[in-house]
Amino acid sequence: MANQSVGLHVEDSGGTGRPVVLIHGWPLSGKAWEHQVPALSAAGFRVITYDRRGFGASEKPDSGFDYSTLANDLADVIAAKGLDDVTLVGFSMGGGEVARYVAEHGESKLHSVVFAAAVPPYMMKTPDNPEGPLTEDKAKEMEAGIKADRAAFFEQFTKDFFSANGELKVSEEERQKAIALCHQSDQTAALGCMEAFGTTDFRDDLKAVSVPALIIHGDADGIVPLEGSGARTHAAIPGSELVVVPGAPHGFNVSHAEDFNRHLIAFLRK
């Protein structure tokens, strides 16, 4: 059954600070937040990260990669940790969990939400979503690439992930760390989640967001372009705050960690 709960690898900094749940991007793991966890902890927050089902050290089931199931997993983490007054921070694919969680589980446990380089409102370009930044051809190319040769796909993907205007913005060591996290992903999960973040329409989900919302995005994001995603999410959520980081690629929580953390902590303190 797709909706059965699975064993998720969760890390919790502990402490009495207000909780912040960090939801990682595809096809990484909670380890992708290593530049954020110490900074947020030092700022007085309790930081929880977890590996999405099928990724990192979490259980690797053969199904359940639709966003409603993934949002149920997030709800399970919140319940298991007894969290309240929490901020959800969704990076890239993780922004979809934030949107779907709000739509299906409500905001009673939430203080605020953050969409960081996130995929909402709707990635796939369709006749009724002409601003979608992902074409069907590009989606098929990605799927074929990871099926044909995972190592070659992750090699190129991490370059694109951390590059702004063709220039790599992180050290080779940082890129290799990301590649290692990519390789921890289960192939079934990687493909299932690729389909989910590419084809899920979050436009109605975003209408449910009424808690304070931060949209933070790099203006040189080549994976989830600002114009087709973050800017539209900002427009869709009344009163939301938009922070654009100049010259920042998709993986800007690593490449521009200081700027990212400064803006995030300023928002969390509100």
Segment 163-216, tens digit of pLDDT: 999 999 999 999 999 999 999 999 999 999 999 999 999 999 999 999 999 999
For the full predicted model, state whether its pTM sits above 0.85.
yes
Q: Name the token pair of 107.
A: 């905001």
Q: DSSP secondary structure string, 126-184?
A: BTTBTT-SB-HHHHHHHHHHHHH-HHHHHHHHHHHHTEETTEE-S-HHHHHHHHHHHHT
Q: Which run of H or of E encompasses 88?
A: strand 86-91
Answer yes or no: is pLDDT of 4 > 90. no
Distance from C-alpha of 9 to C-alpha of 254, rounded to nearest angstrom? 22
Q: Which of 92, 112, 163, 185 is catalytic?
A: 92
pLDDT single digits (tens) 34-79: 999 999 999 999 999 999 999 999 999 999 999 999 999 999 999 9
Q: Which of 73, 186, 221, 259 is catalytic?
A: 221
Judge whether 125 and 136 are in contact, CB under 8 Å: yes
pLDDT single digits (tens) 201-221: 999 999 999 999 999 999 999
Q: Name the token pair of 31.
A: 């380890």
Q: In the chain, what percentage of residues exceed pLDDT 90?
A: 98
pLDDT single digits (tens) 69-114: 999 999 999 999 999 999 999 999 999 999 999 999 999 999 999 9
250 is catalytic: yes
CA torsion sign for 23, 26, 30, 35 is: negative
Q: What share of the chain is helix, strand, coil (3-state, %, to 5)?
A: 40, 15, 40
Mean pLDDT, residues 131-140: 97
pLDDT of residue 2: 43
* CA nearest to 192, candidates 24, 4, 53: 53
Judge whether 255 and 162 are in contact, CB under 8 Å: yes
CA torsion sign for 136, 138, 141, 147 is: negative
Residue 74: what residue type? L
Answer yes or no: is pLDDT of 22 > 50. yes
pLDDT single digits (tens) 230-258: 999 999 999 999 999 999 999 999 999 99
Distance from C-alpha of 254 to C-alpha of 167, rounded to nearest angstrom? 15
67, 71, 74, 75 alpha-carbon torsion, rounded to 10°: -160
- Residue 146: count of CB within 10 angstroms of its CB: 19
CA torsion sign for 102, 104, 106, 111 is: negative
210 is catalytic: no
Distance from C-alpha of 103 to C-alpha of 162, rounded to nearest angstrom? 31
Distance from C-alpha of 199 to C-alpha of 193, rounded to nearest angstrom? 10
CA atoms within 13 A on the CB side of 75: 19
23, 65, 126, 132 alpha-carbon torsion, rounded to 10°: 10
Q: Which of 24, 217, 234, 250 is catalytic?
A: 250
92 is catalytic: yes
